[in-house]
Amino acid sequence: MEIRLFNNLSRQKELFKPIDPNLVRFYSCGPTTYNFLHVGNARALVVADLFHRTLKALGYNVKFVRNYTDVDDKILEAARTRGIHPKEHADEFIRECAKDMDYLGMLPATATPTVSETMPEIIQMIQDLIKNGYAYTVKKENGAEEVLYNVPKFAEYGKLSRVQLDSLQHGIRVESDKEKKNPSDFVLWKPAKPEEGWSWDSPWGKGRPGWHIECSAMAKKHLGKTIDLHHGGVDLMFPHHENEIAQSEAANGCPFCNNWAHNEFLNFGSEKMSKSLGNVVTIRDFVNKYSGHVLRQILLSVHYRSKLDWTEDSITKAIGEVERIHEFALALETVDAKIVDDQKETDEVKKAVEQIKAELANDFNVPGALGVFFGVIKDFNRHSKEGASAAYLKAAMDVAELMEHATGLVHQNPKEVLASLNLARKNLSGAGSNSSEEEIEKLIAERKEARATKNWGRSDEIRNRLNELGVVVKDNPDGTATWTYKV
């Protein structure tokens, strides 16, 4: 199915056309492995995973590369503080990042290169830039050489971010230096400092790469000189992605990437999440309280190009949606088909598969796809009570399977997901902190016995106690009772 993608290079929605019809070359900027990831990082990770999944679900073969930045000032500082080698620190948090990605239900990338293992390619690309006249060396006070990119030499600089050179605001990692030919020039290779504890030999002496060159080299190594799709957070558009373009096109003599997609920020209320605001929530902390399924639901509930406001209400809403989806998935596993004439209803559900695909093909519109999906769930809940045919159930299963593969919002073990939601509700409400599930189950069993013997006084006492524990009891028509924590 054809996809229309909002391309930030042109600032408009375009027909997505891979260079090779049989292969999509896709690169996404991955995390810097100096600490545990926060939920803002999670949005970029899940959006990249959405692109990967949807492209595959719509029939494309995808080579997806997501890097780990394991050479960075923050890593060096953290390792020095801990008294260990920077690689040991970085590798530890690569493993922790991988765990978080599993919690978020992400498909494995085709390749996950690191900066440290790509050093020969990084050095070669810097040499190519010097050879082509786009980079130059400067002598530092200690005699070491630094390599800088000559930004004005690249005539198309600013074509992605629309930044004008004469009003250029430097990125946080771009240092002003009197030895630069131009204030906008940025570092490709920096000399080693003895206290950093990690450096590589190069034609310019021992040192390490600047921030931007790493992704240019890793993308070329694994995907070739020109790629189809590049993704990252909107904060990376300038200077990181702009500098990637300048480096890659100057070194390779051809276009770097044909389509650029950026996800918007995750905000706490009206403010961008940042450590300085004291409102950082790590993926690990959130998953331990509410589960990865709830986090993924929150992150995909809003279109990737829209800002996502983080509130307790968004958590409550996501818990309800995850429950609704997986009660449907569980019912599909247990409901019996009946001989009924429901061809009209079956045809409507079959249409939903194409409607969901159409929404996803429209710039990965998951909220639109979810709207269709919840419509199918609503119809199923009504129709299955009256009796559903095997054809109808098969059509509904096809919808669930498509949503599973294309969005990752349907899990293969719905019982496991549903079981995790009680803990999520308990932690969100803060209620029931002094109770255990065993105590609650015991009280519900006592209440059932009291109701059976018409001991209504005792039944009311137990209900009041459950209410104190933050528990809501639902009496079902078949005489059973189910419970959940109220939020």
Mean pLDDT of 473-479: 75
The residues spanned by each domain of the chain are: 4-263, 268-416, 430-485
Of 346, 326, 350, 330, nearest to 338 (Cα)? 346
Residue 27 vs residues 109, 215, 258, 309: alpha-carbon distances, Å: 10, 9, 12, 27
User: Could you give the percent of the chain with pLDDT greater than 90?
Assistant: 75
pLDDT at 172: 38
Mean pLDDT of 207-230: 97
**Which one of 97-111, 152-166, 181-195 scores highest in mean pLDDT?**
97-111
Confidence check: pLDDT of 171 > 60: no
pLDDT at 50: 98
- Binned at pLDDT 50, 70 and 90, residue 436 comes out as confident
Confidence check: pLDDT of 397 > 80: yes
CATH number for the domain whose boundaries are 268-416? 1.10.730.10
Confidence check: pLDDT of 414 > 90: yes
Strands 24-28 and 229-233, sheet pairing:
parallel
pLDDT at 426: 87
When the pLDDT of each residue in the chain is averaged and rounded to a whole number, the result is: 92
Q: How many angstroms separate the CA atoms of 10 and 369, rounded? A: 26
User: Could you give the percent of the chain with pLDDT greater than 70?
Assistant: 94
Confidence check: pLDDT of 47 > 80: yes
Confidence check: pLDDT of 432 > 60: no
Confidence check: pLDDT of 199 > 90: yes
Q: What is the DSSP string of 332-343?
A: HHHPPP-----H
Strands 471-475 and 481-485, sheet pairing:
antiparallel
Amino acid at 341: D
**Range with the lowest mean pLDDT among 166-175, 252-261, 377-386, 469-478?**
166-175
- Binned at pLDDT 50, 70 and 90, residue 169 comes out as very low
Torsion over CA of 7, 13, 18 and 19, rounded to 10 degrees? Answer: -70
Confidence check: pLDDT of 173 > 50: no
pLDDT at 179: 82
Q: How many angstroms separate the CA atoms of 410 and 401, rounded? A: 8
pLDDT at 459: 84
Q: pLDDT per residue over 312-348, tens digit each?
A: 899 999 999 999 999 999 999 999 999 998 999 999 9
What CATH fold (topology level) applies to the domain 4-263?
A: Rossmann fold (3.40.50)
Residue 111 vs residues 26, 62, 70, 190: alpha-carbon distances, Å: 11, 11, 15, 27
Q: pLDDT per residue over 254-265, tens digit each?
A: 999 999 999 999
Q: How many angstroms separate the CA atoms of 391 and 396, rounded? A: 9
Q: pLDDT per residue over 2-30, tens digit each?
A: 999 999 999 999 999 999 999 999 999 99
Confidence check: pLDDT of 275 > 60: no
